Amino acid sequence: RQKKKAKKKKSSKADRKSQKEDEGPVFGKYGIIKLSDLPQKQRSFSVWLEEVKGLAGFNGPKWELQNYFKEYAEDYNTATLPHIKYYDYDKWEMEEYQKNKAASSETNESAHMLEHQENAKKKKDQGFDLVRSMMSNEKIQEMKRQRQLQSEMAHAFKTGDQARYLQLKKRLEAEK
């Protein structure tokens, strides 16, 4: 009985934790800031001020800036800012940079491999073209005739026709 009660207590604690997570923003989830933290959070605050409030390059009085920062701090502390980048803009910016860098490097690698393969194919084709251009039509015909004689010689050898085999062998040796 005691074990069952202990299990029920543990499961009910787990249920309460999951309910708290489902409730939404948690106070202090990203830390707690106050007015004295303005210098440390200046970049994130400036981005928030520009994008959320629409006040780019705010040059108003200090008291008005402090009021905006109090509003920012309240949203920060209650974890209700519209985007995660407003909590630590530098960190978010670095993560985005790393993501983009990884994506572009994969793209660059595949493009580089494709380019390398195309260059290799062009080089191979150029090699064939060079060999073809250096050979005359007569040379090409001669190579084809020698290949034909070699295949006839191999056939004569396999069938046991020694006379034909020796005749073709002499002819090939005389031409070389």
Per-residue pLDDT of the chain (176 residues), as tens digits, is 555 555 555 555 555 555 555 556 677 787 888 888 888 888 888 898 998 988 888 888 889 989 998 998 999 888 888 888 888 888 888 988 888 887 776 676 777 788 888 888 888 888 777 777 777 777 878 888 889 989 999 999 999 999 999 998 888 888 76
Judged by phi (left if over 0) then psi (alpha if -120 to 50, else beta), residue 27 lies in beta
In this structure, are residues 51 and 5 in contact, taking their beta carbons and an 8 Å threshold?
A: no
Q: What are phi and psi of 57, to 5 degrees?
A: 60, 55
pTM of this prediction? 0.47
* 3-class secondary-structure state, position 132: helix
Rounded Cα distance between 101 and 166, Å, is 70
Amino acid at 52: V
Contact call for residues 75 and 21 (beta carbons, < 8 A): no
The CA distance from 38 to 21, in Å, is 29
* Spatial CB neighbours of 164, under 8 Å, sequence gap ≥ 6: 152, 156
Whether residue 87 contacts residue 76, with contact meaning beta carbons closer than 8 Å, is answered with yes
First to last CA, the chain: 102
